Structure formats: structure tokens, C-alpha cells
Amino acid sequence: MCHLHEPWQTQFAACADLTTCAQLLPMRCSGGSAGLAAHRGQVWQLTEELNRGPVQGSARLRQALAEVADGVRSVAEADLRNLIRRERLPAAMLNPRLYADEAFLASPDAWWPQAGVAAEVDSREWHLSPRDRERTLARHSRMSAFGIIVLHYPPRKLRAEPHVVAAEIRSALEVGQDRQLAHTRTLPAR
């Protein structure tokens, strides 16, 4: 039962009720972890409130919170995270900030620093317009200029051909294994 207008309820609990009541997860709309990501700085507070509440019926919200805590910002990124886990690929940093010396390079969807491999999920929502496409290409070029192997996937391929995507990522990780990228540093997602 949703109680979105109770005076005692915090915005975190309201967000949790909305997510649970609408059953937005698995996230196939802009709710889910994408909606929770707006509260990323206070994920621990939402987790605390969730832990004080009933366990029954909270599995989807707990999943969304885990995804947001890992750095997931969209449905497509959640699909990539799940593919990485399901296919038993090495753990990746999600949405880290990459720098060359002091200059910002990019924030790839997934990043394996030990191999210098980045994976990007290029959805039509964020990469369709000519301007968005130009930004994607510029980001790819900036990373490639510093020796980063950049892989691009449409969201549909993650679901339709997960084994192909996993094999490509594994291959890139093997090629890049233990190489040192000069002048690059990584900071975790915000």
C-alpha cells in the first residue's frame, strides 16, 4: 500500500513506496534505479529506511539500490552490469571518472582499469541526435588517444546476444591485460 502523503514519510521512503508500488523494476522505464540515482548521495539513507521496514515485497527495491550503489545510472547500464555478473566477467567499475593528468577524459559505463578497457552502452535515447553522436565519437577518440580499448554496444545486443558481448569483452580484457596506461587515473563514480 502506498502512503505517499503521510507527514512522517521522508522523500526516501516516498521514493521507495513509489518504486515498489509501481513495480518499476526490473527497470524498463525512467523510474527504477535511474529514478533512485537522483538520490545517489543519500543511498545509504534509503538503505537504512529500507532495512527498518518489512522485507516482504522489497526485493526489487533492494536490487535497484544495489545497482545505484554500484554506479548504475540507467536501464541499459543495469543490463550491462547484470551481463558482467551473469557471464562471470571480471568486476568492472561503473561510471568512473577517467582523467589524463588533470584533464577529464570520460566517464565510461564500465571500466576495467587493469586492462584499459571501457564498455559503453549507446542507447538511442542518449546517442541518437547528430550532436549526441558527435559527443560519443569525441569521447571515444579521447579515450583511444590514451590507449584505452573502447567497446560500444546497443542495449538490444546486451539482451539478444549476451554471449557474443561477453566474448568480445573477454577478448579485449585479454589483449589489454596488465598494460600500463600512461598519464591516466581513475576516480570512482559520484
76-130 confidence digits (pLDDT tens): 898 999 999 999 999 999 999 999 988 999 999 999 999 999 999 987 665 567 8
Lowest model confidence (mean pLDDT) among 67-71, 92-96, 129-133: 67-71
What ranges make up the beta strands (E) of the chain? Answer: 93-94, 97-100, 103-106, 110-112, 117-121, 149-153, 184-187
**Distance set, CA 106 to CA 53, 56, 85 (Å):** 38, 40, 23
Spell out the residues 6+ positions from residue 75 whose beta carbon is closer than 8 angstroms to its own. Answer: 27, 28, 29, 32, 33, 34, 155
Grid cell at residue 123:
542507447
- For the sheet with 184-187, list strands across it: 103-106, 97-100, 184-187
61, 68 in Cβ contact below 8 A? no
Lowest model confidence (mean pLDDT) among 3-7, 43-47, 66-70, 185-189: 3-7
How far is the C-alpha of 181 from the C-alpha of 139, rounded, in Å?
17
Lowest model confidence (mean pLDDT) among 31-35, 88-92, 114-118, 179-183: 31-35
Q: Which residue has the higher pLDDT, 34 or 63?
A: 63
Whole-model pTM above 0.75? Answer: no
The DSSP element (H or E) to which 155 belongs, if any, is helix 155-160
Q: Where are the domains of the chain?
A: 11-70, 89-187
Q: Is the pLDDT of residue 136 over 60?
A: yes
The pLDDT of 132-158, averaged and rounded, is 94
> Phi then psi for 131, rounded to 5 degrees?
-65, -45
